[in-house]
A and B are shown apart, each in its own frame.
Chain A
Amino acid sequence: MADVWRHAWLLARKDLLVEFRSRTAILSALVFTVLVLMVFNFGRDPTAVAAVDLAPSILWVTFTFAAMLALNRAFQLELENQALDGLLLAPVSRSSIYLGKLMANLVFVATVEAVGLPLFALFFNVPILHVLGPLLGVIALATVGFVAVGTLFSAMTARTRFAELLLPVLLLPFMIPPLIWAVLATGALLAGRPLSEAAGWLRLLAAFDIVFVTLAFVLFPATVNE
């Protein structure tokens, strides 16, 4: 098992280094995040719906589509020079490849969220500091499940002709339950309701993570074999 984690770390480090050099996906995702938040900010009528009621949905729609850009990139990177064949030939377990991609995608999406969250608070004038801890918990739980399933689907769709279209089509139906729970939990926290009110949603998010991380881990080898 130590080898699995070590190889996963080598792969994740390589992905992050490639992304750091190319800045292709991270810049796209960050610009996308800023633009979406701006559009929602200027495109809503603040007198019709209170910001705190609308904000959780906007936050999660933004994070979801920004993360999609990262997930699309994850395996496209391996196809550029058929590096994926090299990975499959190397004495590295398929599980390591999945974990490495998952780790890199989590760092990537977390970076986008770290930039997006303060902008969200600024644009929508929603105070988040008093609930920052629990809010980060909700974001972390939802992100893990989202990225775990997204990484699996990214591997499945990467070799198809319409990968960028196919990924959201496959992924979004799976994301509906955790997104609902994340939006409800975020809404409860931003409205100043006690944490115990969001506890049920958090438990559901945690259960989703456990089930889908395990499933993705088990199913991944079948998605990369030729």
Chain B
Amino acid sequence: MLLAEGLRHAFGGVRALDDVSFTLHPGQTLAVFGPNGAGKTTLLKVLAGLIRPGGGRARLEGGRRAVGWIGHQPQLYAHLTVRENLRFWASLYDVPDAQRARREADLLARLDLNDHADRPVRALSRGLVQRVAIARALIHDPRVLLLDEPFTGLDRTAAEEFRRLLAEQAAGGRVTVLVTHNVEEGTELATDVAFMRTGRFVQLAPRAGRTAAEIADAYRLAVTGG
């Protein structure tokens, strides 16, 4: 379970989070849409514990060990190979060797990285690096996924495979918070949808079968006023 209660945070005089509250249960995926500077990344960082909020509290079942994070940067070491990166991060999460080998093989295959597994990350294209970042985030089988614009750089095939992976994670009871400025990207995965502007949730509701086009219309109305 993921709980956010009255989260507030400011950077200097700029309010990044203003009374943000929600609760997510296993299997739920919250898609947070908002323009640049709406506070989406700050929200994820607060949920992950990377930023201590100025007010309110975030509670995440399982603590830091339970979090899988995909951010703007891949959090990979450019001089290490894809496999070495995955092994390093798995070792920090104390993933047993046998389990790690299974997850590693599965993720490399699912993300079509087998041919690149022994290449250094610095030799990979932007899209491939993003796939490795996804594998890195999932290598320890996290229960909560915090995803910041995770589709950036992915081609159509990789994006579809990633959507399937996320759908499987949700079906397996994982909680996901996905933030993006692109309404088309996250809609079909979401069970709940929030629109964010200047640090506030201006709307938070179940997706209730709405299509991407309907969500996009609602977003324009709520965030841009038309």
Contact = CB atoms under 8 A, between A and B. Distances in A.
Given A10-B88, A10-B91, A86 B78 contact: no
B92 A82 contact: no
A226 B9 CA distance: 12
B64 A90 contact: yes
Interface stretch (B24-32, B65-73, B198-206): B65-73
Interface in B39-78: 45, 48-52, 63-65, 67, 69, 71-78
Contacts of B92: 7, 10, 87, 90-92
Contacts of A17: 80, 84
A88 interface: yes
Contacts of B45: 226
A14 B93 contact: no
A80 B136 CA distance: 16
A81 B73 contact: yes
A225 interface: yes
Given A7-B92, A89-B69, A90-B93, A226 B51 contact: yes
A130 interface: no
Interface string B200-225: 00000000000000000000000000
Contacts of B65: 91
A14, A89, A225, most chain B CB atoms within 10 A? A89
A161 interface: no
A35 interface: no
Contacts of A85: 50, 69, 71, 73, 75
Given A21-B120, A81-B73, A89 B78 contact: no
Interface in B135-178: 136
A77 B77 CA distance: 8
Contacts of A21: 79-80, 120
Contact of B71 (A7, A10, A82, A90): A82
Contacts of A115: none
Contacts of A14: 77, 80, 88
A226 B75 contact: no
A196 interface: no
Nearest to B51: A226
- B: contact size bracket: 20 to 34
A82 B50 contact: no
Contact of B52 (A77, A92, A225): A225
A126 interface: no
Contacts of A80: 77-78
Contacts of B71: 82, 85
A42 B64 CA distance: 56
Contacts of A90: 64, 89, 92-93
A83 interface: yes
Interface in A78-112: 80-83, 85-92
Contact of B79 (A22, A88, A225, A226): A22
A23 B91 CA distance: 24
Contact of A83 (B63, B77, B84): B77
A199 interface: no
Interface of B: 45, 48-52, 63-65, 67, 69, 71-80, 84, 88-89, 91-94, 120, 136
In the A-B complex, list the 4 residue pairs whose CB atoms are closest, starting with the nearest: A86-B75, A82-B73, A21-B79, A91-B65
Given A10-B88, A225-B52, 5 more contacts: A10-B92, A18-B77, A89-B50, A89-B69, A91-B93
